[in-house]
Amino acid sequence: MNDLQWILPALASPIVYAAVTLGDKRIISTLGLALGSFYLYVGFTQLSIAAVILLIVGWPDAPLSALFSSYGGGFLWGTGLMLMFFVLRREEVSRVTPVWQSSPVFVALFAVLFLHESLSWHGWLAVLLVVAGAIAVSIDLKRGGLAAFSVRPTFFMLLTGAAIIAVAQLLLKVASEDLGVWHNMAFRGIGLFTSIALPWLRPPYPARLAAWLREPKNAVSILLTETIGPFTGNLLLLSAIAIGPISLVSALLGTRPIWVLAGTLLLGITAKHFISERITGSDLLLKTVATSAVVAGIVIISVG
């Protein structure tokens, strides 16, 4: 029963975030919201949630180091998200997510490089699986010839974002030792606002956001995707981090690519124009194998 207390939120969070990722793709690609305006909405949503939490539960009785750890985790998370959203606007969501979810491998590599820890043979196998899967999922068979196998700059941007998220997760885990889930969520939100929204709090982005929100369809889409979805996903994520072992929690969080791929396929059958992506038979096989390799590597590196 104790295991279920962290397993259930750790498994539910990536399912919720898979839906959020598909919604992100729709908003910044199909519905055409400018990235700067999108960043503003995301940041102000997190700041508003943080303000409400602090008004209800009050200021935490915790050391400043814990507050800075939570704030720093949010700041870095926002930085990583900007990189991911930039790539997501240009690439297929089922290609972006497996590379983006490779952060547990970076946690392990950072431990080897900076904490003088060592990886077992299956740890290095896991790294190889993730790297191979991340590269394979970037192959675009529709381009044809050698061009299909070229590694684009966006691949390295995603890897950089994943490394940043790895550091953010470690900081949030440190903060959870002195902060409860709600306070950790609040200071994470303040940090995320600082990095992802403040740089865009200038013309023309606020005006573009206001004009875009006047369309009811747009307003409902972004409310569900960037307010309700992330709040639910964050609450589940931080709950799992607070009561579960970070390595095992991270492994379950790393299953998001499977849910994104499944959602993409489902939408391809039931709502073809939702995210405007087409998957051929050969492309589906490649993405399935590559995604499975990434998820397998994440699970091995996390639980091994």
The residue whose two tokens read 């390799």 is 293
Structural domain harbouring 231: 2-303
Name the average pLDDT for the chain: 84
pLDDT of residue 6: 81
Mind listing the pLDDT tens digit for each residue in 226-283? Answer: 999 988 998 898 888 788 776 677 777 777 888 888 888 888 777 667 766 666 667 7
Q: What is the mean pLDDT of residues 74-80?
A: 96
Residue 1's pLDDT band, with cuts at 50, 70 and 90, is very low
H helix or E strand, kind and range, residue 121: helix 121-137
Q: How far apart are CA 12 and CA 169, in angstroms?
A: 18
Mean pLDDT for the stretch of residues 65-86: 96
Q: At what angle do helices 35-57 and 181-196 cross, to 10 degrees?
A: 150
Q: Is 30 exposed, middle or buried (0-12, 13-18, 19+ CB in 10 A)?
A: middle
pLDDT at 146: 45
Residues above pLDDT 70, as percent of the chain = 86
Long-range Cβ contact pairs of 283-287 (< 8 A, separation 24 or more):
283/141, 283/142, 286/136, 286/137, 286/139, 286/141, 287/94, 287/95, 287/137, 287/261
More confident position, 267 or 146: 267
d(CA 176, CA 74): 13
- Give the torsion sign (CA, 148, 153, 154, 159): positive
Q: Give the pLDDT confidence score for residue 118 in this predicted structure.
A: 73
Structural tokens at position 143: 């381009």
pLDDT tens digits for 2-49?
A: 566 788 888 899 899 999 999 999 999 889 899 999 999 999 999 999
Q: What is the pLDDT of residues 165-175, one digit of tens each?
A: 989 988 988 89
Domain count, the chain: 1
